[in-house]
Amino acid sequence: MQPMSIEDYVKKHCKGNPDTDPKQLRKSLKQAVQDKKNGEKCRRCGQEIWAIGSAVAYQSCFACLTGEADSSEDYEIKEVCWS
């Protein structure tokens, strides 16, 4: 995972998804980061959640949300980017 701040991710996401409410996305990201810090697990497989994906979809890990195993080119919020 590539670390990224919440603010940088909000800007990047909203640029590609102009209908997204940045305030709501920021709020969802902060909640997902807190959930990950608190040890929240993927509802499907039990692995640690992906905060960015969990903020825009549902609480899940990278693999369950994307169907991919390699997350090396994807982003995660830097304060919980330990994988």
Neighbour tally for 40: CB within 10 Å: 16
Q: What is the dihedral of CA 35, 40, 43, 47, to 10 degrees?
A: 130
pLDDT in tens, 25-76: 999 999 999 999 999 999 999 999 999 999 988 889 999 999 999 999 999 9
pTM, full prediction: 0.91
